[in-house]
Every structure is written in C-alpha cells, then in structure tokens.
Structure 1
Amino acid sequence: MVVWTIANQKGGVGKTTTTVTLGALLAGRGHRVLLIDTDPHASLTYYFGIDAEELENSVYDIFIRGKSISKEEIMQSLCPSGMTDLDILPSSMALATLDRSLGDKGGMGLILKKALAKISDEYDYVLIDCPPVIGVLMVNAMAACDRILIPVQTEFLALKGLDRMLATMQLMQSNTQPGYQFTIVPTMYDKRTKASLEAYKELKSKYQDLVWSAVIPIDTKMRDASLAQTPPPVFAPKSRGVFAYNTLLTYLLQLNPESGNE
C-alpha cells in the first residue's frame, strides 16, 4: 500500500482537487483507493455529497480510539464514493478539537499510520487530504505517508507559503528517520498572466528538481466538477486539468517502482 499526503499550510492551492482527481484516476486504472479527509472543514467529504455531520463514524473515531480500534471498526467508518474501487474515510468538525484534547499526549503522531497498517491489505493507494494548519492532523498525515505532494498556486503569496511549509517539514523531521520524500506541484497556472509565468519561473529556479516539471493549468471544468459533486475524471475526462493530472500521476507512479504499477 502506497500512501500520499497532500499538504500545504496555505489554503486555496488545490489540495482537495488534487486528492480527488488523483484518487479517481488511480481507481480508473484499476487500483483500490482510499481517500482520507483530515480537514475539519470536510471539503473532500462534501465533495462526494457526504454530509459529515450526519455520519455516525468518521476519521475522528480513529484518533479517539487510537491503537484499540479494530480493522472492522475502521472499515465500518468508510463511505462509498460512487466510483468503483474508490472509498472515502470522511471528516468531522470534531477534528478541530483534537489539538486541544490530545495534542500533548505521547504517541499521538503515529495514530493514523498504525490504523492504516491494519487495513493495508484492502487498498493499493491511500491519499490523505490535510488541513492548512500545523497540528496533530498534519503531523499524523505526514508520518503515515511515503510521499508528500505539495500543491502550490503559481502566484507569489503562495510561494511564501511554500517556504513556511518546507521550514515546518524540517522542524517536524525526526532525527531517527530519513527525510520526507516530497514533490512540489504547480497548480492554477495561467499562461496568459505575467504573474503566473514569473511565479513558476521562480519556483523552478529556487526548488529545481523538487518541482514536478509540468503544471496543473487553470480549468473551469474542475470547478464545475466540484459543483456537480463528481470527480473531474468522470465529469470532464477530456479536460485540460484532467490531462495534466494524468501526466502527474504517471510521473508519481514512476517514482514508486516497488508498487509494481505502470
């Protein structure tokens, strides 16, 4: 099972869109995929028409139960996405209370990793959508993953947010484990604007090989897909945005030869 965490301390850079689109593309290629929503705002959950506040179980239960939660209980918390081979572990507003109630307890950073180990034979890929806030949730998502994907809008304020994100990752890095594997993904690229062109140029100049070599362009079809509560590869399979994410996915799969994928 390969786990990717989609994270950035800045909001509005395309984290949820990236999670949903890559997840749907993976499922479309025949992989068993789980999407996890760790953002209390529950954007990923609502994307699939799931009302987070009407659910009996959510990812919150995993954090509250900790190591005592069973595989069966985790599987009972999942929701169908409407797509074959794509499941959702939904969010809850109660997640916003975790830092206050559990943040100072030992071992809190590995709860999600240990829970995923219990269902590792059920999925080929797990994608974790993070809140734009450093805390228990992001720490868990980063500790549980094989690679961090950092969507960065191609504008200068977003570049400043990337600096903060990378600094945070360095602070969070343990002395006992290797450095985080991560890929910076330029998003919302508009080749018609000078600001977007210059931001992308600076991004490539400063971070070089850490940046995916292509971009995710501005595409209104992605917003329309969200409104329709349908993953972009289903809603608009031939759109520019989906084509770009398909190219990104092929690149990411090549970084994981051990997973045995194309």
Structure 2
Amino acid sequence: MVVWTIANQKGGVGKTTTTVTLGALLAQRGHRVLLIDTDPHGSLTYYFGIDAEELEVSVYDIFIRGKDITGEEILQSMCPSGMPNLDILPTSMALATLDRSHGQQGGMGLILKKALQKIENDYDYVLIDCPPVIGVLMVNAMAACDRILIPVQTEFLALKGLDRMIATMQLMHSSSPQDYAFTIIPTMYDKRTKASLDAYKALKAQYQDRVWSAVIPIDTKFRDASLAQTPPPVFVPKSRGVFAYNTLLTYLLQLAPEN
C-alpha cells in the first residue's frame, strides 16, 4: 500500500481536485484506491454525493476508537464512489472538535497510520485529502504517508502559504525521526497572465527539483465535473486538465516512495 497525502495550509489551491483526479486515474489503471477525507468541511465527501451528516460511521470513528477499531470495521466504513476500484472514507463535521477534545491525548498523531496498517492488503493506493490548517488531522495524514503532494496555485499569495507549509514540515521533522518526501504541484496555471508566469518562475527558483516540472492548467471543465459529482477522468477524459494530471501521475509512479 502506497499512501499519498495532499496538503497545503492555504485553501483553494486544488487539494480536493488533485485527490479526486489522481485517485480516479489510478482506479482506471486497475489499482485498488481509497480516498480519505480528513477535512471537516467535507469537499471530497460531498464531491461524490455523500451526505456526511447522514452517515452512521465516518473517519471520525477511527480517531475516537483508536487502536480498538478492527480492519473489518474500517472497511465497513467505506462508501462506494460510483466507479470501479475507488472507495471513499468520508468525513464528519465532528472532526472539527478533535483538536479540542483529543488533541493532547498520547499517541493521537499516529492513529490514522495504525488504522491503515490494518487494511494494507485491501488497497494499493490511499490518497488523503487534508484540511487547510495544521492540527491533529494534518499531523496524522502526514505521519501516515509515503509522500506529501502540495498543490500550489500559481499566484504569489499562494507561494506564501507554501512557505508556511514547508516550515510546518520542518518543525514536525525536528520533533520526529520521519523525513517527509514531498512534491510541489503548480496548479491553476494560466499562461495568458504575467502573474502565473512570474509565480511559476519564483516557485522553480526557490524549490527547484522539489517542484514537478510541468503544471496543472486552469480548466473550467473541472467545475462541470464537480457539479456532476463525477471525477474529471470519467466526466471529461480528454480535457487538458485530465491530460496534465495523467502526466503528473506517470511521474509520481516513477518515484520510489522514499525519494
């Protein structure tokens, strides 16, 4: 099982779109894929037409039950995505209370990692969509993964958000033996604007080989896919955005998890 965490401390940079699109592309290639929504706002959950507040079980139960939850119970928490090979572990608004109610509890940062170990033979890839804030949820998602994918909108305010994200990773590394492999993904790139061009140049200059060499362009068809509650590779398979994500996926699959 390979685990990718999609994270950034700035919202609106394409985290959920990246999670959904890469997950669907992996599923189309025949891999067994699980998408986990750890954002209390539930963009990933609602993307697939799942009403988080009507569910009896969600990812929240994994955090509350901790080591007592079984692999079978975790699998029973999954929701179908509507396409083969792709399952969803939905969120709950109750996750918003987790830092306050359980944030200081011992071992809280490794709950998701230990839960995934119980189902490691059931999926080939797990993609975790994170909230845009540092807390127990992001800490869990980062501790559980082989690689962090950081979508960054190609505009200068988003670059400031990236700086905070990198600083957070460095801070976590200073208190943990884990070294975080990460890839920065330029998103919402518009070659017609000087702002996008300049932001991309600055991104490459500062982070160099940590930045994927291509970009995810702005693609309005992705909004139509979201409205239809259908992953872009299914809804608009020949769109330029899907083509770009396919190129990104090929690149990621060539990387060893530890690189």
Q: TM-score, normalised by structure 2?
A: 0.98
Partner of 1:65: 65
1:165/1:250 CA distance change after superposition, 3 Å? same
1:240 matched residue in structure 2: 240
Match of 1:203 in 2: 203
Q: Give the equivalent residue in structure 1 for 2:116.
A: 116
The Cα of 1:179 is off from its aligned counterpart by 1.5
Q: Aligned residue for 1:256?
A: 256
Determine the C-alpha separation between the residues in 1 that align with 2:53 and 2:257. 39
Residue 107 (structure 2) aligns with: 107
Equivalent position amino acid for 1:186 in 2: P
CA contact (8 A) 2:2 2:257 kept: no
**CA–CA separation in structure 2 for the residues paired with 1:20 and 1:204:** 25
Q: C-alpha distance in 2, partners of 1:217/1:60?
A: 34
| Identity in percent | 86
Aligned-pair distance for 1:177? 2.0
Matches of 1:51 and 1:80 in 2, distance apart? Answer: 13
Counterpart in 2 of 1:92? 92
Counterpart Cα distance in 1 of 2:242 and 2:116: 28
Rounded to whole Å, the distance in 1 between the matches of 2:173 and 2:36 is 22
Letter in 1 for 2:17: T
Gaps of 5+ in 1: none
Per the alignment, residue 193 of structure 2 pairs with 193
Q: Which residue of 2 aligns with 1:171?
A: 171
Task: Provide, for residues 203-233 of structure 1, a one-character-per-residue CA deviation record: whole Å limited to 9, x for no partner.
Answer: 0011000000000000001111001100000
Residue identity in the other structure for 1:227: L
Residues 128-143 of structure 1: matches in 2 within 5 Å? 128-143=128-143
Query: Aligned partner of 1:30: which letter?
Result: G
Determine the C-alpha separation between the residues in 2 that align with 1:238 and 1:2.
27
User: AA paired with 1:59?
Assistant: V
* Structure 2 residue aligned with 1:45: 45
Unaligned runs of 5+ in 2: none
- Tell me: CA distance 1:159–1:104, structure 2 relative to 1, closer, same or farther (3 Å): same
Letter in 2 for 1:218: I
Contact 2:146/2:257 (8 A) holds in 1? no
Pairing of 1:215-230 with structure 2 (within 5 A): 215-230=215-230
Counterparts in 2 of 1:164 and 1:176: CA distance versus 1, 3 Å: closer
Q: Helix, strand or coil for the counterpart of 1:82? A: coil
> Following TM superposition, by how much is the alpha carbon of 1:142 offset from its aligned partner in structure 2, in angstroms?
0.1
Matched position secondary structure for 1:256: coil
* Alpha-carbon shift at residue 256 of structure 1 (Å): 2.8
CA distance in 2, matches of 1:3, 1:52: 23
- TM-score when scaled to structure 1? 0.97
Q: RMSD of the TM alignment (CA)?
A: 1.0
